[in-house]
Structure 1
């Protein structure tokens, strides 16, 4: 499953990069890879923190960090966030309201909003 997701994202990335001039496409790909890493790091931190009510903070933070890299990072954050929410709503059964709230936090961070808006009281400063 993970291999399928990685290959799908890579093919989308290459297709998107083909529409840009060569110097911009290289930067786009580099930023997208870094953005995917930022999203992964936020996910790992969320799992490590295991802190009740911190989910939206980590969504916003991962998207914020990725988008700070540029258009490629923002693109990767959107693709990953949308895929995760689609999977989560289909598999976990958390419902439309939770998905809507997650997507709001995703967009907030991706559009440059301060992730601390969603930071729960008491979350260790490490995060």
Structure 2
């Protein structure tokens, strides 16, 4: 089992993919243009506010890998759980950027999950891998 998958997904989503999507959205639409100087703040606050979601992700990943043998199904279910956690977190925080950020972070989770593998040990000792 790839025990680092939740951390890889969390870190890549918040530090790389989400800031890139914010920059791209700012290039496309003026209302998304927040300036590059706010990106470090989004990264720092994103890491802090997403810690409960990371804990949920770890717990869900552990349970899913014990109960389900299909890596693709684990990825799909985990993505749904994490996107739900992000939506709940941003709904609790609310504010003027909550809706936009929920779109960015949800899309970032889906994109980041493509880059990492879920590996499951099968009963016969073989490993099943899903990449992308």
TM-score bracket, shorter-length normalisation: 0.3 to 0.5
TM-score for both structures, normalised by structure 1: 0.42
More strand by share: 2
Higher relative contact order (CA 8 A, sep 6+): 2
TM-score for both structures, normalised by structure 2: 0.41
Greater radius of gyration (CA): 2
